[in-house]
A and B are shown apart, each in its own frame.
Chain A
Amino acid sequence: GAGVSQSPSNKVTEKGKDVELRCDPISGHTALYWYRQSLGQGLEFLIYFQGNSAPDKSGLPSDRFSAERTGGSVSTLTIQRTQQEDSAVYLCASSQTSNSPLHFGNGTRLTVT
């Protein structure tokens, strides 16, 4: 069946511009996560959505980062006024429940010039 879909797969943007990253989770998965992975680094937790509960935003690195999940399905991660240190691969994952294994999308490779 269809896996987690992310778009765009690559994004190059100029410093100071806003970007929006999209994640389409596996149908029926109630939990959705955003992580980012910088070169040579481990995955860094950003935000978690579970059903209709308030999201856990504790991993967002600054107030320039925000995310929403509409209708319990598609999620968008928005980065305002991008900085060079935002360059990373942004990975979205979904799971059937919060205790189920995570299924990752292919990621969006963001480069801020």
Chain B
Amino acid sequence: RKEVEQDPGPFNVPEGATVAFNCTYSNSASQSFFWYRQDCRKEPKLLMSVYSSGNEDGRFTAQLNRASQYISLLIRDSKLSDSATYLCVVKPRSSGAGSYQLTFGKGTKLSVIP
């Protein structure tokens, strides 16, 4: 099983739609989770951290299910500007050797269509 696995997509959705991305991770000791966004031929940028209780930032909602080792990102009312690749990122542990190493999924491509 890959360390961080995502559906590569592409997800083609109309403007205004709600879309959800899923991500699974293999290391049960993982401590921190993030969603990054990467536009075509650009660098990744932090979209949001994922907390155990779930968190929301405007149209974006992130959830974590530790028991199933599963993370999700929900985007409501999709905008054209949301078109990008969304990277699921996992950090193995909070301290000690290798604790800084982020493991990136290959990303899920989203295209929002007018």
* A residues with CB within 8 A of B: 31, 33, 35, 40-43, 45, 48, 50, 56, 58-59, 91, 98-99, 101-107
Contacts and interface: CB of A to CB of B under 8 A. Distances in A.
Nearest to B91: A99
Interface size class of B (residues with CB under 8 A): 20 to 34
A42 B100 contact: no
B87 A42 contact: yes
A74 to B, nearest CB: 18
A95 B95 CA distance: 16
B43 A31 contact: no
Interface of B: 4, 32, 34, 42-46, 49, 87, 94, 98-107
A45 B102 CA distance: 8
B100 A98 contact: yes
